[in-house]
Structure 1
Amino acid sequence: MDKEKLNNEKLNKDLFVPAKKDEAKREEIRRPSLSYWQDAWIRLRKNKGAIFGIALLIIVGILSLVGPHLNENDAYQQDLGHSRMPPRVPVLENISWLQLDGTKSDEFQAATVEEAEQKALLRFSIDDLEYVEFELVDDGTGSEPATVVGHFDVYAEQDMDEIYYWFGTDTLGRDIFTRVWTGTQVSLLIAFVAAALDMIIGVAYGGISAYYGGRVDNVMQRFIEILIGIPNLVVVILMIMILEPGVISIIIALTITGWTGMARIVRGQVLKLKNQEFILASRTLGSSNTRILSKHLIPNTLGMIIINTMFTIPAAIFFEAFLSFIGLGLQSPEASLGTLINDGFKSLQTNPHIMIFPAIVISLIMIGFNILADGLRDALDPKMRK
């Protein structure tokens, strides 16, 4: 201790010079003044994943609006003569690895090459091999059987060289491209309306419950616990049995129990905020309960509301697709992503393109909303501000 004191005494006093006071810089703003939303947008822009999600959703949204009008095919027009046509896209048909050239390909094995080619006749349901191009994999000279890959040009066989079905056709000859984007419109409509209703009901219910507290809160929360205790699928099935299957019945079924999660989140946020100083000040100045809820409490929970809504939308899309897939949602010939996946699942092994394209679209929507919600969660959290 004495040694340290001695070292301090030996320090040159000239090293300790008071800092110069600059009155002009005292009021200088070192950082630009930003509102909460401006700061959140700046942080959101720096999140590459969130920007990718926004771009992805914009592209899917635009295609859902203009896609059904990009060709002359109707989403509900049936043509059994064009049944199960494979995808064929102009220009892209020349890129072999994309397999968008309107051909069906399969591998055939038999004792000899000739027998393998005869199997192709049965597989493609044709009388001759004029429109089939074979690629020899193994001629069967070894211990393994002969293996050939057959590429069947369906469009040439049906004299449809000038016709293009970008996503192919289904078992009834309906254009899958038009049906996919029509179904995307329906699925997004159901999801957005259901999410909006969940948000409105949940925010109002949770805010009132938490703000008034006491007996009001106890009664309202017991009601939520009853709803949560009932399996969601059971409630949905009962509602669809009462109402006719359709868009309205699915929205009502999704809304009955979907708002409870939002209500509990808002309740927790309001309970945390309602006794803070700015709320007490507003109450002291004579603000009504309605004004305090609408002008102070709900705006301060808006970040959590937006984030939860962004997660609710893909969950609603997936649940609608699930209902349609098991036959409880929209009924054929109505188009939604769920009904299209259900139709494609029935012929997955023979015509996988019927299921692949709607499955890709619903996957892109789910990915876009989820990574956007993750980005919003980081951008709207004040603790993440640097």
Structure 2
Amino acid sequence: MAKDNLDRDLFVPAKQDDEGSEKIQRPSLSYWQDAWIRLRKNKGAIFGMIVLFIIFIMAIIGPFFNEKGINDQDLGLSKLPPRVQGLEDVRWLGMDGTKSDTFEASSVEAAKERLRQRYTQRDDEFMTYDVKSDKEGNAKVKGYFHIYEAKGLQDQYYWFGTDTLGRDLFTRTWYGTRISLYIAFLAAAIDMIIGVAYGGISAYYGGRVDDVMQRIIEILVGIPNLVVVILMIMILDPGIISITIALTITGWIGMARIVRGQVLKLKNQEFVLASRTLGSSNTRILSKHLIPNTLGMIIVNTMFTIPSAIFFEAFLSFIGLGLQSPQASLGTLINDGFKALQINPYIMIFPAIVISLIMVAFNILADGLRDALDPKMRE
């Protein structure tokens, strides 16, 4: 009975829109455009890119901010604390150009006298104090020694202070950053050139070629990088050349293995068979088809390799196997600062902050690139 009560006018045929059915709702994007859109949504990766860009710019222009050279020594300016224009009154930042220490004594005057002896001062001309007393009457006095005024340097500023030989740490820090960035780009170039080519050739040709090439890699893997560096130092002098040779000998092995695994997975695919059927040479198949399809993995692995190479150089310089003084690298600067850590911690703090920012930024950017270049992560 319900069917007889329905009005036929309620049923309207759907309109056919042939043009609308062919319309593409999502914009046409290439692989790299889609990856860039997803990378921009990753705030951490963008932050890492900005930090690396700023550090790269400062490594170029930083040493030219003042007239001090990286090896200009002046023992009269030894161990000056950081001092920045406009921050002389912001004492808690530690950039006001003063040295400070705290003493407790039975009286305020006794504590002040110990502070004056600490900074070899006879009076309070260049000293200021913060005095606190406890319930028992003991005095806790924090003294600030205005060393710039004591040395007659009221109009001079050293943003990162000076080291034990009176050299400007701001200039030396950014010059040392150049060495770290050189190591970074060297490691990337070695991975891109040697590692990619070696791994691609080994996987593509397979058989006896792959067996021989993989046995060579196994031999190189069994030799630690530190042993290779020591051997280079026995032949050459410690320095950037020995580090460069050591990275060239063993730095590409990880990339070669990753590329080999990717090429082994792709070389039997239909698009490779089609290219071979059309008469493409082995070199063209590798360079135009196989390697581009592994490029995402190559970029991500390179970004993870770079901070490891930077730390490797800093470690070698820190233990005395890398660059030697008076040459500046972040490793040598941290080593110099470590010797004066308890008395003048700023000598080590600024190079340590820069190398930490470089390594963290590269790792965050690598994480972002890994997500952006993986098609499985597409929304």
Would you say same fold, with TM above 0.5? yes
Correspondent of 1:85 among 72, 80, 83:
80
1:20-99 residue pairs with structure 2 within 5 A? 20-99=15-94
Q: Which runs of 5+ in 1 are unaligned?
A: 1-8
Q: Which moved more, 1:297-306 or 1:87-96?
A: 87-96
Deviation at 1:257, TM superposition (A): 1.3
Shift of 1:230: 2.1
CA distance 1:22–1:310, shift in 2 (3 Å)? same
For residue 133 of structure 1, give the secondary structure of its aligned residue in structure 2: strand
Aligned-pair RMSD on alpha carbons? Answer: 2.0
Q: 1:254, CA displacement in angstroms?
A: 2.0
Identify the residue that residue 5 of structure 1 maps to in structure 2. none
Segment of structure 1 superposing worse, 40-49 or 18-27: 18-27
Match of 2:157 among 148, 158, 164: 164
CA spacing shift, 1:16–1:272, aligned 2, 3 Å: farther
Map residues 178-197 of structure 1 onto 2, 5 A cutoff.
Answer: 178-197=171-190
The equivalent residue for 1:333 is: 326
Cα displacement (A) at 1:94: 2.4
Residue identity in the other structure for 1:61 = F
Post-superposition Cα deviations, 1:182-229, rounded to whole Å, max 9, x if no partner, equal 111121112211321132111011001110111211221122122112
Distance change in 2, residues 1:32/1:216 (3 Å): same
The DSSP-based 3-state class of the residue aligned with 1:330 is: coil
| Equivalent position amino acid for 2:242 in 1 | S
TM-score normalized by the length of structure 2: 0.94
Aligned-partner Cα distance in 2 for 1:229–1:13: 85
Work out whether 1:213 is the aligned partner of 2:206: yes
Name 1:378's counterpart in structure 2.
371
- Assess if the C-alpha contact under 8 Å between 1:93 and 1:99 holds in 2: no
Counterpart-to-counterpart distance in 2, 1:110 and 1:230: 59
In structure 1, which of residues 219, 231, 239 is the aligned counterpart of residue 224 of structure 2?
Answer: 231
1:201 counterpart = 2:194: yes
Looking at structure 1, the residues matched to 15 and 93 of structure 2 have their Cα atoms a distance apart, in angstroms, of 71
User: How many residues end up aligned between the 2 structures?
Assistant: 375
Of the three residues 339, 347, 358, the one matched with 2:340 is: 347
- What does residue 292 of structure 1 align with? 285
Correspondent of 2:275 among 282, 290, 298: 282
Distance 1:17 1:60 in 2: 67
In 1, are the aligned partners of 2:239 and 2:321 still within 8 Å (CA)? no
Shift of 1:112: 3.1
Counterpart Cα distance in 1 of 2:36 and 2:7: 50
CA distance in 1, matches of 2:132, 2:246: 54
Is it true that 1:120 corresponds to 2:105 in the alignment?
A: no
Note if contact 2:131-2:141 (Cα within 8 Å) is conserved in structure 1: yes
Matched, 1:255 2:255: no
Letter paired with 2:83: R
1:56 Cα deviation (Å)? 0.7
Identity fraction in percent: 72
Q: Quick one: distance in 2 between partners of 1:234 and 1:126?
A: 51
Distance 1:277 1:169 in 2: 64
| CA deviation map 1:145-188 (0-9, x unaligned) | 53211111000111110111111000000000111111111211
Structure 1 residue 142 corresponds to structure 2 residue 139: no
Q: Name the residue aligned to 1:3.
A: none
SS of 1:303's partner is helix
After TM superposition, give the deviation of residue 99 of structure 1 in Å.
1.8
The TM-score normalised by the length of structure 1 is 0.92
SS of residue in 2 equivalent to 1:305? helix
> Do the aligned residues in 2 keep the contact of 1:198 with 1:255 (CA within 8 Å)?
no
How many Å separate the matches in 2 of 1:123 and 1:334? 32
